[in-house]
Chain A
Amino acid sequence: MEREELACLITVYSENEESYLFHTPNVRLVRFQAEAMEVPLVETGTAGRKEEELYDLGRALDIARVQYGIEGVVTGAILSVYQAARIQRLCQELSLWCFNPLWHTDQEAYLQALCDQGYDVLVSGVFSAPFDESWLGRKIDARALAELKQYAAQYRITLTGEGGEYETFVADAPFFARRIEVVSATKEYTNYRGVYRITDARLVEK
């Protein structure tokens, strides 16, 4: 490994919304993120069955290696040994490097940096108490971060949602050439579980 250069994004679409390994809310919109970043996207599907879904990711990595010559993979794992160990094993089998640059990061500093650096991060799903419906579609800003810190102290959620307490969608980032505008979305919520389903979106100039 002599230099690290972003070659493509890789996304696995799971038919199982309760996938053990993969993010599911609004994952189809990753294609907008790839376009906003001006990088290609490699996509595959999976039935989302435990352990088998890893091999579907392996197919995607193989495609990325053939099409874009990737030598390694970067994940966003922060605390999940389950996810990190499986992707490490898969990369080892495929002779690919594996990096987890957010591994055991300072979660508060990380979320604060996202707020400070102009990321537009929307809550796309909640899956635990005490999140109510008002969190669906809410932007992670200074006020939201203050509430998350309070929840983390009181309810022992992980600040970044690494325990699956909530999921997010990034609509804008400093490295996006254009931002994603949510045109329409629906909310489904019951008993501390809900999804903010983006039904229409478009790329707009920043």
Chain B
Amino acid sequence: MILVLDLCYREHSLGYEEFVMPIARIIEGQGTVVSTLHYRRNPEKAMTRCDGVVLCGTPLQDHAFLQCPDAFSWLADTDLPLLGICAGMQAISLAFHGEVFPALEIGMMDIRAIASDPLLPDQATFPAYELHGNACTVPLGFAVLAESDRCVQVIRHRDRPIYGVLFHPEVRNEGIVERFLSLFCQ
């Protein structure tokens, strides 16, 4: 079972259908059971029953999760595979003592792979859908896998299966979520 975390400003918000359900549908499409949960609903308890966690994005104007850094401190301690998407990448960065800073990107952008990794498309440059007002620094212990002209786009922990992806793979890069499942969550 994969735990899909909703990072939107409140539970059952309008952002749920837009940012959580597309990810849940990709995972279900791989024949994997999904459980969705709002990040303030004690995800640590649900983690005992899951094989991996995906942290989803939020609406462009929604930065409420940044006001609750303690809600993500467990990310640094878990052994579970983690995939943070957009806001989820920012939450992972904060949990590992990185920082979030303003960086607006909207629409399709070219992403340059700067290190090979099985999660990424097998292309030096690939298009991806961006929708973020912030980006984050690369925390200690993480490597940069891809970047845009503006900022770092994909990071990976050097020793653990923990990824952060700033663009939205649910739009035209579903393979990233699928490969995260097949490589790390079986």
A interface, CB within 8 angstroms of B: 1, 4, 72, 74, 81, 85, 88-89, 91-92, 95-106
Q: Which of B17, B22, B106, B170 has a CB less than 8 Å from the CB of A85?
A: B106
Hey, what's the 0/1 contact readout for B98-140 against A, CB within 8 Å counting as 1?
A: 0000001011100000000000000000000101010000000
Query: Given contacts A81-B107, A89-B106, A104-B170, are A98 and B17 in contact (CB under 8 A)?
Result: no
Give A59 Cβ to nearest chain B Cβ, in Å.
20
Contact between B15 and A99 (Cβ–Cβ < 8 Å)? yes
Hey, what's the 0/1 contact readout for B152-186 against A, CB within 8 Å counting as 1?
A: 00000000000000000011100000000000000
List, sorted by A's number, 17 A–B pairs whose CB atoms are closer than 8 Å.
Answer: A74-B14, A81-B129, A85-B107, A88-B60, A91-B60, A92-B106, A97-B59, A97-B61, A98-B61, A99-B14, A99-B18, A100-B18, A101-B18, A103-B17, A103-B18, A104-B21, A104-B22
Lowest 9 A-B CB distances belong to which pairs?
A85-B107, A104-B22, A101-B17, A99-B14, A103-B18, A97-B61, A88-B106, A89-B106, A100-B18
List the A side residues contacting B131 at CB < 8 Å: 85, 88
Contact between B108 and A4 (Cβ–Cβ < 8 Å)? no
List the A side residues contacting B147 at CB < 8 Å: none
Contact between A4 and B13 (Cβ–Cβ < 8 Å)? yes
List the A side residues contacting B21 at CB < 8 Å: 104-105
A-B contact count (CB 8 A): 61
Give A157 Cβ to nearest chain B Cβ, in Å.
19
List the B side residues contacting A105 at CB < 8 Å: 17, 21-22
- The residue on A at minimum CB distance from B22 is A104
- The residue on B at minimum CB distance from A71 is B61
List the B side residues contacting A101 at CB < 8 Å: 14, 17-18
Contact between B14 and A92 (Cβ–Cβ < 8 Å)? no
How large, as a class, is the contact surface on chain B? 20 to 34
| Cα–Cα, bound, A11→B133 (Å) | 27
Hey, what's the 0/1 contact readout for B1-37 against A, CB within 8 Å counting as 1?
A: 0000000010001110110011001000000000000
| Cα–Cα, bound, A103→B107 (Å) | 14
Give B144 Cβ to nearest chain A Cβ, in Å.
25
Give B82 Cβ to nearest chain A Cβ, in Å.
22
